[in-house]
Chain A
C-alpha cells in the first residue's frame, strides 16, 4: 500500500477527523491560563470519591462521556476504545472501559498516551478496521505522587527541575462523520536511553526521545518547522523543552516561537508553584483536546504537530538503579 514513508512515519490515505473532544481538569489546573478552554473544572480533587484512584477513574469516564455527548454519539456506536494512564496495570482505563462498554484496547505509553492513542486510532480507522474510535487518557496528581514518589502530605522540598503531575482527563472521538481537524500523519518513536537515572528530572530524560522523533518526522515527510503553525511536545517542562531545542539545533533544526510544550502551557509558571511545569498523561491530553482543538476548529492554527513524550520507567526499575527509558510519538493534525 505504501502508506509508510521513511523509517517511522505513516502518511494517512484517508485521514480521520477528530469529531469531538472532552476535557475535565483538576482544581489546580483550573487556576492556570488555559482554564477557559476546558469543558469542566473540578472543585474538589477527590471528585466526591473515596480515593484518588477512583477520582481519576471518574474524571476519565466523564471526559469520555463529554466527547461522546459533543458529537451526539452513544457509546454503542463506537467501535473501539483506546485508553491508557499512569497507575499500575492502567486501572483507570481498564475500569473506565467497564462503564463505557466499548471494546477496549489498553495502552501504556506513560505521558505519551494521548499521542499514542491518536496515532493508533488513526491507523485503525485508515486501515478500515473501525468506523469510529474513542481515545482517552488521564492522570491524577495525588494518585501518581503516591505511586511514584511520596505520600501527599509528606513535607519535602521539590527540586527546581521537578514537574507537577496534572490532574485531569482528555478524550477524543475519531471518525468520518461530522467535521473536525484531521490526523494526516503519524510517527511512532523508538525507545531511547540517554543515561538519565533521576526520576524527578523527567524533562531531561525525555528530551532526546522528543528530539529524535521530531527529526524523524521531518526527514520522513519532507516537512520542516515552518510548515507548522504550532509544534508542541507533551510534557517536557521548561528544562526539557530547552534541552530538546538544544538537541534539535545541534542537528541543524532551529525551532522558533511556534515551538512549545503542553506542560509549560498548562500552568502559569510564574504564579503557580510547579517548578519546571506540568507532566502526566493529562498534560498533553488537556492542552491538545482543550485549547488547541478549539483553536484548530476556529482555524486559528491550521497545522499542528503534537509530540507526546513518555518516560517508561517504573518505581521498581529506578529503585534497582536502572536508567529511565523514554519514548515520543508524533501526530500531525491539520484543518
Chain B
C-alpha cells in the first residue's frame, strides 16, 4: 500500500486532497483515550482486588475472572447498543483493552444473526477479532518456544 506508482496528475491531486482533510482533534482524542482507558484499568484492578480479597482467590489467579468480567461488561454494553456511543469519544481507551475485543466479537455476531446460526453468527463472529486471535496464538507459541528452550 502506498507504494503503487502514481501518475504525475494523480500525485498532484493526492497532495491537494491531503491538504483538504480536516485534522483530527489529536489532543482531545488522546485525553479522552487516556481517561477512559485509565478508567477501564481502574475497574479491572477493582475487580481483581474483589476476586482476591472477597472471593479469596490467590492474587495471581484473580486476574482471570477479572478479565472475564470486563469482557462480559463490554459484551453487554455492545448488546444494549451503548458501546459504540461511548467508544465514539473514548477511542483507543476502549479499543485497546479487552473491551475492544469483546465489542468486535459481539457486534459481528449481532450483525450476522440474520444469516443464521452456522454461516452467520458462528462463522462471522470473529471477522474482526480473528486477526487478534491468530496473532495472539502465534505470538504465544513463539514466546512459549523461547521460554522452553532458553529458560
Chain A residues with a Cβ under 8 A of chain B: 50-51, 53, 146, 150-161, 193-197, 201, 204, 207-208, 239, 242-243, 246, 273, 276, 321, 323
A residues in contact with B112, CB < 8 Å:
151
Partner of A152, one of B11, B25, B91, B107: B107
Q: How large is the interface on B (under 10, 10 to 19, 20 to 34, 35 or more residues)?
A: 35 or more
* B contact face: mostly helix, strand, loop, or mixed: helix
* A contact face: mostly helix, strand, loop, or mixed: loop
A155 touches B110 (CB 8 A): no
B21 touches A156 (CB 8 A): no
Stretch at the interface among B12-20, B65-73, B142-150: B12-20
A152-B88 contact given A161-B21, A194-B14, A204-B21, CB 8 Å threshold: no
A321 touches B13 (CB 8 A): no
Partner of B110, one of A153, A157, A159: A153
A160 touches B20 (CB 8 A): no
A155-B7 contact given A50-B114, A195-B13, A239-B20, CB 8 Å threshold: no
Partner of A197, one of B1, B13, B16, B108: B1
A153 touches B9 (CB 8 A): no
Can you list 30 A-B contacts with CB-CB less than 8 angstroms, sorted by A residue number? A53-B114, A146-B111, A150-B128, A151-B107, A152-B107, A152-B111, A153-B78, A153-B103, A153-B106, A154-B103, A154-B128, A155-B78, A155-B83, A155-B90, A155-B107, A157-B29, A157-B91, A160-B22, A160-B25, A161-B21, A194-B10, A195-B7, A195-B10, A196-B14, A239-B20, A239-B21, A239-B22, A243-B16, A243-B17, A246-B20
Is B40 close to A, CB under 8 A? no
